């Protein structure tokens, strides 16, 4: 058995260097050359400033913008580091609500949000994805139905014709891959950027 100690140490160190250092560092170098934008996080730069990532959702509260999904991410409480406070779309601490199907907290939240959306948009069915939190808290997408649902509000806030907005939503809707894989979706940040461009 003693003869197994040398390979245990030497092979472990050698394979650690290969898989733990050489592999990720080489991949970082190659990816940086081949796909520099993606490797950095698909950042969107506007007027020389980073305004976000094309893949990471951000919070929209203004009536003039389309809103994304609810986010359950948190941040450390500045007053008490053992506690956390709600911080939607915190891209440095991803996570979901983890509320279960029989959670009273979840039922109360759903009731409140559905009532509010119904009051603001009478007569329209409330889209499921607008009242549920995403798994990552950073979901960049909403369903096409959830985008259409908000057209009326955004049109009013921006004094733009609804028809123009519906066209912008349609132009920013992605379908299923090969017509089969994934779900139809709208990237909220891309949609709002398109909206700002159209409004100019």
Partner 1 sequence: MTVIGWLQIIFFCVIILALAKPLGWYMTRVFNGERTFLSPVLRPVETGLYWISGVDEKREQHWLTYTVSMLLFHVGGFLIIYGLMRLQAVLPFNPAGQSAVAEDLSFNTAISFITNTNWQNYGGESTLSYLVQMVGLTHQNFLSAATGIVLALALIRGFARASVRTVGNFWVDVTRCTLYVLLPICIIYTLFLVWDGIPQTLGAYVEATTLEGAKQTIAVGPVASQVAIKMLGTNGGGFFNANAAHPFENPTALSNFVQMISIFALGAALTNVFGRMVGNQRQGWAILAVMGVLFLAGVAITYWAEASGTSTLQALGLTGGNMEGKEVRFGIVASSLFAVITTAASCGAVNAMHDSFTALGGMIPLINIQLGEIIVGGVGAGMYGMLLFVVLAIFVAGLMVGRTPEYVGKKIEAREVKMAMLAILVLPLMILGWTAVAVVLPSAVASMANAGPHGFSEALYAYTSQTGNNGSAFAGLTGNTLFYNVTGGVSMFVGRFFMIVPAMAIAGSLAEKKSIPPSMGTFPTTGGLFVGLVVGVILIMGGLTFFPALALGPIVEHLAMNAGQVF
Closest CB to partner 1 among 134 and 172? 134
CA distance 26 to 63: 46
Give phi and psi for 118, each to the nearest 5: -65, -40
| Class of residue 23 by CB neighbours under 10 A (exposed 0-12, middle 13-18, buried 19+) | exposed
Buried b (16+ CB within 10 A) or exposed e, 131-164: bbbbebbbbbbbbbbbbbbbbebbbeebebeeee
Applying CB under 8 A, what is the total number of residues that bind partner 1? 99
Could you say whether residue 8 binds partner 1 (CB under 8 A)? yes
* Structure letter (DSSP) for residue 2: G
Could you say whether residue 69 binds partner 1 (CB under 8 A)? yes
Closest CB to partner 1 among 114 and 163? 114
Could you say whether residue 106 binds partner 1 (CB under 8 A)? yes
Closest CB to partner 1 among 39 and 155? 39
Give the Cβ contact number of residue 107 at 10 Å. 12
The CB-of-139 to partner 1 minimum distance in angstroms stands at 5
Q: Which of 14, 85, 170, 199 binds partner 1 (CB under 8 A)?
A: 14
- Give strand pairing partners of 86: 74
Our measurement of the distance from residue 93's CA atom to the centroid of its chain's CA atoms, rounded to an integer in Å, reads: 12
| Residues 71-90 close enough to bind partner 1 by CB under 8 A | 89-90
The CB-of-134 to partner 1 minimum distance in angstroms stands at 5
| Residues 118-177 close enough to bind partner 1 by CB under 8 A | 125-126, 128-129, 131-143, 176-177
Q: Which of 103, 116, 171, 199 binds partner 1 (CB under 8 A)?
A: 103
| Residues 39-58 close enough to bind partner 1 by CB under 8 A | 39-43, 49-58
């Amino acid at each position: 058995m003693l003869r197994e100690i040398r390979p245990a140490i030497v092979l472990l160190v050698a394979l650690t260097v290969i898989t733990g250092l050489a592999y990720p560092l080489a991949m970082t170098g190659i990816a940086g050359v081949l796909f520099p934008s993606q490797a950095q996080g698909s950042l969107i730069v506007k007027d020389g400033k980073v305004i976000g990532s094309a893949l990471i959702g951000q919070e929209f509260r203004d009536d003039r913008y389309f809103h994304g999904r609810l986010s359950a991410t948190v941040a450390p409480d500045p007053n008490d580091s053992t506690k956390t406070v709600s911080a939607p779309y915190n891209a440095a601490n991803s996570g979901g609500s983890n509320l279960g199907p029989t959670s009273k907290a979840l039922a109360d939240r759903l009731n409140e949000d559905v009532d509010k959306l119904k009051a603001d948009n009478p007569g329209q069915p409330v889209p499921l994805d607008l009242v549920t939190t995403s798994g990552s808290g950073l979901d960049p997408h909403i369903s096409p139905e959830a985008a259409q649902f908000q057209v009326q509000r955004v049109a009013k806030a921006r004094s733009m014709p609804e028809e123009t907005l519906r066209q912008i939503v349609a132009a920013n809707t992605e379908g299923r891959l090969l017509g089969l894989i994934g779900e139809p979706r709208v990237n909220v940040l891309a949609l709002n950027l398109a909206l700002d461009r159209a409004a100019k």
